Amino acid sequence: MFQQDGAPAHTSDLVQQYLSENVDTFWPKHLWPPNSPDLNPLEYYVWGVCERDTNKVRLPNIESLKKAIQAKFRNMKGNELKGACLHFRQRLEAAVKAEGGYIE
């Protein structure tokens, strides 16, 4: 699944038209759920782990940071990602219970 956020570049009429013509099962922007990092495994888990591990040492430049991030993604264990996705339903239920408010 390809997910976009509400950035103007993603919601422009030109981009929406292109995607509707070229992407199977495209959802137009009016059907997108509100963007919540709490409900996105990539945001609430993967990027946090990546940031934690790549920031353990000071990197000298942007290129070395890019390489460290790429290496972390390549070496991430499948069971780590599976665990994050398995918690997805719990997070959805917690968000509903909090009526869309903050969840821990």
CB count, 10 Å around CB of 25? 5
How many whole angstroms separate alpha carbon 69 and alpha carbon 75?
Answer: 10
Mean pLDDT of all residues in 50-74: 93
* Domain extents in the chain: 1-32, 34-104
pLDDT tens per residue, range 22-50: 988 888 888 776 666 667 777 778 888 88
Is-contact 6 12, C-beta < 8 A? no
Which tens digit of pLDDT belongs to each residue from 70-97? 999 899 888 888 888 887 788 888 888 8
